[in-house]
Amino acid sequence: MVFRLRPLANGLRTDHPIPDLPFVDDSHIPIEKGPDAIEAVGRGVAEGMWGRCDRDRNGGWLAFTTDPLRTDLGWSVRYHPEHGMTVLLLDDRDTAALHEYWWGPPLLFRSGGYWWDGTTWYRPQQVWDGASERYERRPVRAATTIHAADLIDDHTNPARGKILKVANFDKEAPAVQGWPDHLAKWATVRAERGEGLPLQECVVRLTAPEFTGDQLVGIPEMAELAGITSSTLRAYISRGENSIPLPQATVGGRSMWARPVAEDWAEARSKSSEGVEATMASGDNDSLSRGAADVRQRFTENFTRTLWERPAVRKRWTLRHRNEEAVRELADELAWEVAASLDRIIPTEELGSTIRHAVLDELANGGDSHEDLVDNQDWQFVGITLPVSRMLGWHVRHFPYFAQTVINDIIGEAERRLDMPRQVTIRSLSNALTMDSGLDGKTLEAYLKLVLPPENAS
């Protein structure tokens, strides 16, 4: 799930302020009492109010609640025992979504979805690793963390800063001017109360080489990376479709993305159902997969023979203006109906589950000594028997996107249940499909590049 939220303000008790957002007094929310108290503020209190909290295994927690004074607003809190607390004010409709984004390693988000786990900055999560059942974690090269202490100096004046009240908070107000002064005001109040982390540990934002001007791309460049037109990308953005990531900057009123973020989005798009189906398309005008197109061709020939080459049948329906070409066109239409109905002819989900179990059984039986496979450079895969590998190949040809899920499930299950290194499973599957899929090498290589997860997950 690509990060899409835009918080409205920082809570006064946050340890990690988001740049350019105002600070709002959060003293009426019992943050100091922990997640259960935060949840209780809004959960089931009145119609339109809600709250929830969860704890992690490391002593941290996250919680959200509708604001009791402004039910159109809500508070979200993320706490880590070492890295402190983030407190944000959002539109109340967004608090549950932020709760979901925060579940797991992310402690905070910046610059359109870049996230920090307390040690490392990562790019926005876009490329799905089906075997691990999570998005790939892609570290930011040469990232530098900017802390509050780096931004408060002799030029900032807390007297010019403001702490707003939630009751009269304006959601539509423009971005605050002179934000470092507001940051200094926040720091002064914290010092007076003796709250929070030291300023040199309060994360504000990150910088990285990929944020420099020559690494930012606009809509035309991003569309080119994805192989679409600029107008198509603008339409996606305006309609909120295709998981377009938030931009990293606005230059002259134009949204700009870090090139690696744009490249990740293009990669994720290529691995979507549309991208996989396009790679495996037969090239006909009806966008059938290669296997479905084979079925269509076979039935076209069968129907042609039935309707034209058997005189007893032909004389019952043909007219003088009919000819073989017209009959073939009709037969092709009938065959298309069969090919397009494959998912109703074949129980796709059940077939995929059967293949998954069969391949895992092959890996379990053939991989008893899989520790040796990694060290032996001449033999880095488990052999899969001909019937099973042919069935897997058939599934890839006829239902390429469903097969992608099956392949990733196999890799993940082998890793978790059989303790088999994923590189061994990937090579075992690749070897089986290379020999027995019935696909040409170029098409199979393109398909595997899209659907296989990385051999070494981070």
pLDDT along the chain (458 residues), means of 10: 90 97 97 97 94 93 97 98 97 96 94 97 94 92 97 95 96 90 97 95 97 96 95 94 93 95 94 79 75 84 79 66 73 82 84 93 74 50 90 92 93 92 92 88 91 78
Distance CA 308, CA 327 (A): 7
pLDDT of residue 267: 93
Return the DSSP state at 247: P
pLDDT of residue 322: 66
Distance CA 416, CA 18 (A): 38
User: Which of 86, 215, 80 is CA-nearest to residue 142?
Assistant: 215
In tens, the pLDDT along 172-198 reads 988 889 999 999 999 999 999 998 999
Q: Which residues contact 383 (CB under 8 A, 6 or more apart)?
A: 362, 366, 428, 431
Type and span of the H or E element at 216: strand 216-217
pLDDT of residue 283: 72
Helices (H), 91-218: 95-102, 148-151, 179-193
CA-based torsion, 146, 147, 150, 153: positive or negative: positive
pLDDT of residue 84: 97
CATH 1.20.1560.10 fits 213-270, yes or no: no
pLDDT of residue 317: 64
Cα torsion through 236, 242, 243, 245, rounded to 10: -50
Q: Which residues contact 140 (CB under 8 A, 6 or more apart)?
A: 114, 120, 121, 122, 123, 206, 208, 210
Contact 373, 367 (CB under 8 A): yes
pLDDT of residue 458: 53
Output the pTM of the full model: 0.78
Partnered with residue 116 across adjacent β-strands are: 108, 121
pLDDT of residue 318: 62
**Residue for token digits 């930011």?**
140
Domain limits of the chain? 9-204, 213-270, 290-344, 347-451
CA 447, distance to chain mean position in Å, is 19
pLDDT of residue 271: 85
